[in-house]
């Protein structure tokens, strides 16, 4: 893509927007940016961009633009996006633009409803252990475009990819990709579960026989899809016909035992799936199996995912703020021993909460409800016969109430099954506040 002097509008001044402005400005594009916040609220952003050429505007209808780059989280139904869509102005997210600007870069793309952050981090750790030049970028909290711009052709870019980013792709083509699972999530954004599935599966739409797609065949949706355009490596927690599988808590590749789940530092059966995907990705890249095994055994997990905070008076506190959907919270419950005091609630993504209660199996003794979805959770709990529900107003009250009612041997688990955007900017901010308050007890 020819970029010099192209007039570009970057919509949204979050992490991806800042990264995009830096990159496009460095490539000599004529960069404009828009955010629905006032300039007075964006001074910290402007400070980060003071060395780059761009113009902040509010009157976007007064300009012609060659293309738009929107923050991935902005909905397709947003009035600005619809305005430029109707004018047939090309609309990109950072993922599509990264491939369009730097098609020669090596990209490993990792998606799925749950587990992609842990998988991305583990793959990055394996590449680091193997002394392969690589970067972990994308939806994991690092501005993708700027990082890829500052890498070279030898660097492997390991990208956590969201359904928001995949929605707008046309040419994006990773050379290795994985889909861990697909369960209902972000229905408010995509409009329907069918649309969400369609966007997730776009990750491999441009791949060819030079690439490799890793699929979890335990997932009902993924087990039924027909992939003809690229090579497929399968993983499973129960099917020994898969290329990489788990049997009696041991990891196997083509019936050869590799190591045991007891060798891992990370908790939960769901993490076995993340390990299997990481094994398949790195094996397909060509990393020797002994190096992969060593890195897996020494991987300590990621922040905000079933993260142990402290033990006080025999009560253990865990931060699973990244549990932003029902399936993720179910996996966190499965990973811990009973009894559990579970903290749920947050921004409403219009999903069904009933499967959460079906997973309790006597392990959850009390629900602490907070955030926009607290009353929706309360109604769902009552409907499912769960009566021990406590509604609170903020996170200080969350922690104080948990400590008040918890007994020796209890596990207090923050795993909201909801996004953080009702009270926080991100799940990281939510998790950090929870940890701070717990450590102040």
Q: Give the domain ranges of the chain.
A: 7-92, 96-298, 307-440
User: 7-92 adopts what CATH topology?
Assistant: Rossmann fold (3.40.50)
Q: What angle do CA 240, 210, 110 make, to 5 degrees?
A: 60
116 appears as a binding residue in the annotation:
yes
For the chain (441 residues), the mean pLDDT of every run of 10, in chain order, is: 94 93 97 93 93 95 96 92 96 94 95 91 96 84 85 94 92 96 89 95 96 97 95 97 96 96 86 96 97 94 86 95 92 90 94 92 96 96 96 97 97 96 93 97 95
Output the six-digit token pair for 78: 């947003």
Distances in Å between the alpha carbon of 330 and those of 90, 220, 337, 356? 39, 17, 13, 6
Burial label, 132 (beta-carbon count in 10 A; 0-12, 13-18, 19+): middle
The per-residue pLDDT for 157 is: 96
Nearest to 141 by CA among 279, 298, 18, 36: 18
112 is in an annotated binding site: yes
pLDDT (0 to 100) of residue 300: 81
Q: Which helix (H) or strand (E) holds 284?
A: helix 270-285
What is the pLDDT at residue 71? 93
CA dihedral 260, 263, 269, 273 (to 10 degrees): -70
Q: Is 115 annotated as a binding residue?
A: yes
Domain 96-298: CATH class, spelled out: alpha beta
pLDDT at residue number 380: 96
pLDDT of residue 111: 96
174 C-beta neighbours (distance < 10 Å), count = 25
d(CA 398, CA 391): 9
Token pair listed for 259: 């190591």
Closest Cα partner for 197 from 323, 113, 72? 113
- Residues facing residue 413 across a β-bridge: 318, 342
Tell me, letter by letter, the H, E, C secondary structure of the chain: CCCCCCEEEEECCCHHHHHHHHHHHHCCCEEEEECCCCHHHCHHHHHHCCCCCCEECCCHHHCCCCEEEECCCCCCCCHHHHHHHHCCCCEECHHHHHHHHCCCCEEEEEECCCCHHHHHHHHHHHHHHCCCCEEEEECCCECHHHHHHCCCCCCEEEEECCHHHHHCCCCCCCCEEEECCCCCCCHHHHCCHHHHHHHHHHHHCCCCCCCEEEEECCCHHHHHCCCCCCEEEEEECCCCCCCEEEECCEEEECCEEEEEHHHCCCCCCHHHHHHHHHHHHHHHHCCCHHHHHHHHHHCCCCCCCCEEEEEECCEEEEECCCCCCHHHHHHHHHHCCCCEEEEECCECCCCCCHHHHHCCCCCEEEEEECCCCHHHHHHHHHHCCCCCEEECCCHHHHHHHHHHHCCCCCEEEECCCCECCCCCCCHHHHHHHHHHHHHCC
Q: How far apart are CA 345 and CA 291, in angstroms?
A: 40
The residues that bridge with 246 in the sheet, in sequence order, are 251
- How far apart are the C-alpha atoms of 58 and 61, rounded to whole Å? 9
69 forms beta bridges with 10, 92
DSSP run (H or E) holding 390: strand 389-391
pTM to 2 decimal places? 0.77
Q: What is the model's pLDDT at position 161?
A: 93
Class of domain 307-440: alpha beta
The answer to whether 183 is annotated as binding is no
pLDDT for residue 137 = 87
């Amino acid at each position: 893509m020819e970029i010099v002097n192209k007039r570009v509008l970057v919509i949204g001044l979050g992490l991806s927007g800042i990264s995009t402005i830096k990159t496009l400005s460095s490539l000599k594009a004529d960069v404009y940016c828009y955010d629905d916040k006032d300039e007075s609220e964006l001074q910290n952003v402007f400070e980060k961009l003071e060395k780059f050429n761009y113009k902040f505007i509010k009157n976007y209808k007064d300009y012609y633009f060659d293309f738009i780059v929107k923050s991935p989280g902005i909905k397709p139904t947003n009035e600005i996006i619809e305005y430029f869509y109707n004018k047939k102005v090309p609309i990109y997210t950072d993922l599509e633009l990264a491939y369009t600007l730097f098609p020669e870069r090596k990209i490993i793309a990792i998606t799925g409803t749950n587990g992609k952050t842990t998988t991305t981090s583990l793959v990055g750790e394996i590449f680091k252990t193997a002394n392969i030049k690589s970067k972990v970028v994308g939806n994991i909290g690092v501005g993708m475009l700027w990082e890829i711009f500052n890498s070279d052709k030898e660097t492997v870019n390991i990208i956590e990819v969201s359904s928001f980013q995949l929605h707008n792709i046309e040419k994006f083509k990773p050379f290795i990709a994985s889909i861990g699972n697909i369960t209902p999530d972000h229905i408010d954004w995509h409009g329907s579960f069918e649309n969400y599935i369609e966007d997730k599966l776009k990750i491999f739409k441009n791949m060819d026989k030079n690439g490799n797609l890793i699929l979890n065949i335990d997932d009902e949706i993924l087990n039924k899809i027909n992939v003809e355009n690229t090579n497929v490596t399968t993983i499973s927690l129960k099917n020994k016909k898969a290329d990489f599988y788990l049997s009696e808590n041991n990891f196997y590749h083509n019936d050869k035992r590799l190591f045991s789940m007891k060798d891992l530092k990370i908790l939960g059966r769901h993490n076995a799936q993340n390990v299997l995907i990481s094994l398949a990705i790195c094996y397909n890249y060509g990393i020797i199996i002994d190096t992969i095994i060593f890195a897996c055994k020494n991987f300590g997990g990621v922040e905000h995912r079933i993260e142990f905070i402290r033990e006080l008076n025999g009560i253990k506190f865990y931060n699973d703020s990244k549990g932003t959907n029902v399936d993720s919270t179910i996996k966190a419950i499965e990973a811990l021993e009973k009894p559990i005091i579970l903290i749920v609630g947050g921004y409403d993504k219009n999903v069904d909460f009933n499967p959460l209660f079906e997973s309790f199996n006597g392990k959850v003794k009390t629900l602490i409800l907070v955030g926009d979805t607290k009353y929706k959770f309360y109604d769902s709990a009552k409907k499912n016969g769960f009566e021990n529900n406590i509604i609170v107003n903020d996170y200080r009250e969350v922690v104080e109430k948990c400590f008040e009612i918890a007994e020796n041997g209890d596990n207090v688990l923050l795993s909201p099954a909801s996004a953080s955007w009702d009270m926080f900017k991100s799940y990281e901010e939510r998790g950090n506040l929870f940890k701070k308050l717990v450590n102040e007890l």
